Structure 1
């Protein structure tokens, strides 16, 4: 039986090895297919990325051309408006010069008016000073008159009493 086991065991071992080899071959084949699918996906992704990059380059080129055209147009408009800006500046500067001259003339007029006002103010101050002196003198006169009136009233009271005293003396 030993020979039988040896002969059949070797055969079964060969079957098992052939089965394992077939299974490994199938596994390798499925891995190769998966690898091919992955390579295809990577190639498609690279192609899509290249197409996207090309599209982006075209869009960038179009935007750059539009930018250049817009920049040129803006520059041309700016250049064409320069004479108008220069004329406006000259007009503004002329107006400023006229205003400056008018301001100087008005300042001279103001100074002359101030000098005239100073003279008038000095005359007015002299008059007011005289009025103040008259007021002071008037107050002094009123004070003296009030004092005289108070003295006279007191004298009348005194004389009235004196008359009453005298009447009381003679009435007895």
Structure 2
């Protein structure tokens, strides 16, 4: 065998080994590419599932919040209506107290006139007694008027406190913590090791 034919055989064998190695490497890379594409598809599916779960949780939270806001609005409106509807009754009570005060003042003035008439007919002691009685009647009537004003102020304050209490209760109901859904834990699939 000639050295040239030996070189040709070695060269052909080397080329066959190189081509065989390239084919083996291409097969391994094709397998890796196929596995990577499968893993990417699984990751995309898991990410889409997580996004869908978050969307559902957000929609449920929005519904709960809208419901609480509606209850809050209704509670505030009811408290305001109750306060407004009670105002005429408070005004009637105050007007009745003022009318009573006016009657007492008129009665006191009438008695004062009769006391003065008695004083003019009697001595100086009667005059002093009439002045004293007049002052007491006037103080009584003014005291009843003050009591009426204080009663009206107290009733209005009580109604305002009840209104504020209802508003606070409605606000507490609105801002009470809402149970949050537990987020889905995203765990990507493990890639196979080659």
TM-score (norm. length: structure 1): 0.50
Q: Where do residues 97-116 of structure 1 align in structure 2 (5 Å cutoff)?
A: 105=135
Query: Cα offset for 1:85?
Result: 2.9
SS of the equivalent of 2:54 reads helix
In the alignment, what sits opposite 1:79?
Answer: 84
Query: Cα offset for 1:75?
Result: 1.7
The answer to whether structure 1 residue 57 and structure 2 residue 62 are counterparts is: yes
For residues 112-151 of structure 1, the C-alpha deviation after alignment (integer angstroms, 9 at most, x for no partner) is: xxxxxxxxxxxxxxxxxxxxxxxxxxxxxxxxxxxxxxxx
2-structure distance, mates of 1:16, 1:36:
30
- How many residues in Structure 1 have an aligned counterpart in Structure 2? 105
| Farther-moved stretch of structure 1 (47-56 vs 64-73) | 64-73
Query: Cα offset for 1:86?
Result: 2.5
2-structure distance, mates of 1:91, 1:8:
124
Query: Cα offset for 1:12?
Result: 0.9
Query: Cα offset for 1:89?
Result: 4.6
> Structure 1 residues 95, 22: CA separation in 2 closer, same or farther (over 3 Å shift)?
farther
Instruction: Identify the match of residue 20 of structure 1 among 25, 28, 36.
Output: 25
Query: Cα offset for 1:84?
Result: 3.0
TM-score (norm. length: structure 2): 0.45
Q: Which runs of 4+ in 1 moved over 6 A?
A: 91-98
For residues 10-66 of structure 1, the C-alpha deviation after alignment (integer angstroms, 9 at most, x for no partner) is: 111111111111111121112111111110011101111111121112112211221
- Bigger Rg, structure 1 or 2: 1
2-structure distance, mates of 1:96, 1:26:
104
1-structure distance, mates of 2:73, 2:9:
94
Query: Cα offset for 1:88?
Result: 4.9
Structure showing greater relative contact order (alpha-carbon pairs closer than 8 Å, 6 or more residues apart): 2
1-structure distance, mates of 2:64, 2:73:
14
> Structure 1 residues 87, 17: CA separation in 2 closer, same or farther (over 3 Å shift)?
same
The answer to whether structure 1 residue 32 and structure 2 residue 37 are counterparts is: yes
The answer to whether structure 1 residue 67 and structure 2 residue 72 are counterparts is: yes
1-structure distance, mates of 2:39, 2:56:
25
Unpaired runs of at least 5, structure 1: 109-172
